[in-house]
A and B are shown apart, each in its own frame.
Chain A
C-alpha cells in the first residue's frame, strides 16, 4: 500500500495493523506540530 495527500478524520485509530500486518508511518513531524499547536492555545 502507498498513499499521499489523504486525510483521515474522526477515526479512533488512524492506522491499525493486525496479524502479520505492519504499517510504517513517517508522519511524526506533522503529528507533533498538531500537538504543539494545541498546547499554545
Chain B
C-alpha cells in the first residue's frame, strides 16, 4: 500500500507458509492478487518504511523478506526475527537501487540464498555475519 507512515509488525504477529514472500515492500506493485485495480496507474509508491521486529516468518516457499525500490526509497528494518524457508528462495531479497534493508540479530535458516541483491548493493561494515560451515559465498 502506498503510505508515508511507518508500518510495524511485531512479536504478536506471525506469518506462515507464504508463497511470494513473508513481507513484501515495493513501490512498484505491478500485479493485483485480489482485483483488477492497477496500482501503478497513479505512479510508484511513496517512500516507505516497514519495521519487522521479533516476528516469526516460517514455511516460506518464496522469500522471507523482500523489498523493492525502483523510484522511491523502500526500507525494511528487521530485528530479532526468525526467517525459515521450506523450499524458500531467499531469506532477504533486496531489489533496485532504492531498496534497502537494515538487519540486526536475525536468524535466517533453510533458504537457498541467505541474502540476495538484484541490481542493488549491500555491505557488511562490521564483520558480524555469523555463517555456519558448509556455506559458499558469491
Write the residues of chain A forming the contact surface with B, with a CB cutoff of 8 angstroms. 1-27, 29-31, 34-35, 38
Contact = CB atoms under 8 A, between A and B. Distances in A.
Contacts of B113: 11-16
A20 B116 contact: no
A11 B111 contact: yes
B116 A16 contact: yes
What is the interface of chain B mostly: helix, strand, loop, or mixed?
strand
A4 B128 contact: yes
Contact of B103 (A1, A27, A31): A1
Given A1-B94, A1-B101, A8 B131 contact: yes
Contact residues on B (Cβ < 8 Å of other chain), bracket: 35 or more
A10 B113 CA distance: 9
A17 B122 CA distance: 9
- 5 smallest CB-CB distances across A and B, nearest first, come from A1-B122, A21-B117, A8-B114, A3-B103, A19-B119
